[in-house]
Amino acid sequence: MKTCLRFISRFIYISAERNKVASFVSSVRYYNAAAAKTLSDCRWEEGKSSDTQKWSSLEHKGPYFPPEYEPLPDNICFNYDGQPVKLSPVTEEIATFYAKMLDHEYTSKEVFQNNFFCDWREEMTKEERKLIKTLSKCDFSQIHKYFVEKSEERKNMTKEEKQVLKEEASRLMEEYGYCLLDGHREKIGNFKLEPPGLFRGRGEHPKMGKLKKRIQPEDVTINCSQDSKIPAPPAGHRWKRVQHDNTVTWLASWLENIHGRPKYIMLNPSSKLKGEKDWQKYETARRLKMKVDSIRKQYRRDWTSREMKIRQRGVAIYFIDKLALRAGNEKDDESADTVGCCSLRVEHITLHRRLDAQEHVVEFDFLGKDSIRYYNKVPVEKQVFKNLKLFIKHKDPEDDLFDRITTVKLNKTLNESMPGLTAKVFRTFNASTTLQDQLNKLTTEGMTVEEKILSYNRANRAVAILCNHQRAAPKTFERSMQLLQEKIQKKKEQIEEAKKELKEAKKAHKDAPSDKSKKCKKHQVPIEKIYNKTQRDKFAWAIDMTDENFQF
């Protein structure tokens, strides 16, 4: 396992939090029925928001603005070409963004350096720009050291000092962290505006290192109900706009300057609005269960269609269904080169007539969402293999594999098969089905809580593999693994010892049975053992609505 992990240098997720799509199902199987509320006392019954109108009343305090920049003390110098230079506050603040990241791999990348330096120079005064012309002559080390020390100071704060900070944070949460939506006090997901900094794109992102500018109240649009108390902008400022649009769920929005796309302040996943959406998502996936056989029959028929676009569509849906691939919308050139199903290129697949004793194998190798590598060798049906050969014929490696279809066309077809069906529903459906099947397979009546949790983790791992959920190995991975191996060895020794003891105890029981030796416990897994508080809050709707007999 260790070798394998090293080879791909990433982890397969087994955490329940990540397999959100599957959590609903699993919350049921292990769910302690005694804790269930009746349907009548749950807020999910209260009346659904319609598809267009999301709320009737919405009141909030507006976003929380990050604190203004505090200039560096006079003894901390930025040096250019060996000489100390006092920077203007704006220039200095941006320098601190870079200085704080000196330990990070990002700052060694040329794209990051160039983007940073270009954006930094734009914010400089004329004089600064005239002087500071080369990044390699910039010395941020004093600033870096200063922030490392500050961080150490924070860590070494006394209990009392930490308590003061904690109280301040909870005061902020109380003031800005909640809104009033249709009379309910709901938690907001991200009430703090994103602070300025340097953009960290994932993978080989062409915009990494660019300056994420400070958001001003004048950039922010507020959304709330007309008769509510309109949030006050910070002193001396005004909002960009105040609107009262109840067809959207966001509380505030602004345009981020890196891609020029809107960003939002929205509700926490535990809120009624988000919960309803989530519930709907799983219901659509459950409807797909009823329809999936006919959809599969249809896409199989499409594989032999006379029309190329229909054949391509049939194979694409087959991949989305079988491999849980994402739809793969077209992307602009100003982001990392990642793909999904519809945007696969010829270079992302290799066809093997025969491989490892299997026939008609497709080898996938591409970067998906977040530049996470998808590598898989999959035996496919003969007709799919034939079609793929046809699709790549006379094409260059960088040509689109599915050149006749788009995600929009594909989703249109899916929607005709079943209202509400899109490519991503297959991911939810297949993840949920896999989890349910695995749980059915891996759990039996007499299992202990620990055994059931192990089965749950194994089932979750199967989902993670299907969905290609991975994360980078932590820096301390090697050391942790070593410690773990030592622990395993110790446990093995303990097990051997326990086995011996059991043997002796059995023999003793046979010779002279006692009350103690007759007991054997029955376990149910309390939901707290599977889901943390956040997850239980988020899936409150599922907990409220299901019983222990639920099957996806």
Partner DNA sequence: GGCTAGACTTGGTTCCAGAAAC
Partner DNA sequence: GTTTCTGGAACCAAGTCTAGCC
Give, as ranges, the residues between 73 and 102 that touch DNA (CB under 7 A): none
Residues 445-464 close enough to bind DNA by CB under 7 A: none
- Determine which residue in the list 240, 369, 386, 461 makes contact with DNA, applying CB under 7 A: 369
Q: In terms of DSSP bridges, do strands 178-181 and 58-59 run parallel, antiparallel, or are they unpaired?
A: antiparallel
- Determine which residue in the list 8, 33, 35, 408 makes contact with DNA, applying CB under 7 A: 408
CB 539 within 8 A of CB 22: no
- Determine which residue in the list 315, 368, 429, 439 makes contact with DNA, applying CB under 7 A: 368
Part of the chain binding DNA (CB under 7 A), chosen from 138-146, 346-354, 423-431, 544-552: 423-431
CB-neighbour burial class of residue 356 (10 A; exposed 0-12, middle 13-18, buried 19+)? exposed
- Determine which residue in the list 277, 348, 352, 377 makes contact with DNA, applying CB under 7 A: 277
For residue 342, give the nearest of 277, 428, 407 by alpha carbon.
407
Minimal distance, residue 110 CB to DNA, in Å: 17
Using CA atoms, how far residue 99 sits from 112, 139, 142, 201, in Å, is 13, 9, 9, 18
Using DSSP, state whether 505 is helix, strand or coil: helix
Query: Helix crossing, 20-29 with 423-442: angle to 10°?
Result: 30
Minimal distance, residue 3 CB to DNA, in Å: 20
The nearer residue to DNA, 154 or 506, going by C-beta atoms, is 154
Residues 48-67 close enough to bind DNA by CB under 7 A: 54
Part of the chain binding DNA (CB under 7 A), chosen from 31-39, 273-281, 344-352, 492-500: 273-281
Minimal distance, residue 315 CB to DNA, in Å: 17
CB 202 within 8 A of CB 82: no
CB 253 within 8 A of CB 221: yes
- Determine which residue in the list 249, 312, 430, 460 makes contact with DNA, applying CB under 7 A: 249
Degrees, nearest 5: CA angle 371-402-348: 40
Residues 143-202 close enough to bind DNA by CB under 7 A: 151, 162, 165-166, 173, 190-192, 194-195, 197, 199-202
CB 18 within 8 A of CB 540: no
Does 338 help bind DNA (rule: CB under 7 A)? Answer: yes
Part of the chain binding DNA (CB under 7 A), chosen from 9-17, 140-148, 374-382, 515-523: 9-17
- Determine which residue in the list 212, 286, 300, 352 makes contact with DNA, applying CB under 7 A: 212
Residues 429-448 close enough to bind DNA by CB under 7 A: none
The nearer residue to DNA, 430 or 455, going by C-beta atoms, is 430
The nearer residue to DNA, 303 or 429, going by C-beta atoms, is 429
Sign of CA dihedral 176, 179, 185, 187: negative
Element (H, E) at 377: strand 373-379
Residues 480-519 close enough to bind DNA by CB under 7 A: 480, 483-484
Distance CA 30, CA 449 (A): 10
- Determine which residue in the list 471, 524, 526, 550 makes contact with DNA, applying CB under 7 A: 471
Element (H, E) at 12: strand 10-12
Does 20 help bind DNA (rule: CB under 7 A)? Answer: yes
Minimal distance, residue 162 CB to DNA, in Å: 6
The nearer residue to DNA, 29 or 427, going by C-beta atoms, is 427
Cβ atoms < 10 Å from Cβ of 436: 20
Distance CA 175, CA 484 (A): 44
Distance CA 380, CA 362 (A): 7
Using CA atoms, how far residue 327 sits from 26, 295, 380, in Å, is 26, 17, 19
Q: In terms of DSSP bridges, do strands 373-379 and 470-472 run parallel, antiparallel, or are they unpaired?
A: unpaired
Does 278 help bind DNA (rule: CB under 7 A)? Answer: yes
The nearer residue to DNA, 360 or 468, going by C-beta atoms, is 468
**Which residue is it, tokens 């330990």?**
103
- Determine which residue in the list 143, 179, 295, 425 makes contact with DNA, applying CB under 7 A: 425
Cβ atoms < 10 Å from Cβ of 124: 18
CB-neighbour burial class of residue 194 (10 A; exposed 0-12, middle 13-18, buried 19+)? middle
The nearer residue to DNA, 80 or 264, going by C-beta atoms, is 264
Contact flags string 98-127 toward DNA, x per CB under 7 A? ------x-----------------------
Residues 253-272 close enough to bind DNA by CB under 7 A: 253, 256, 258, 261-262, 264, 266
The nearer residue to DNA, 133 or 490, going by C-beta atoms, is 490
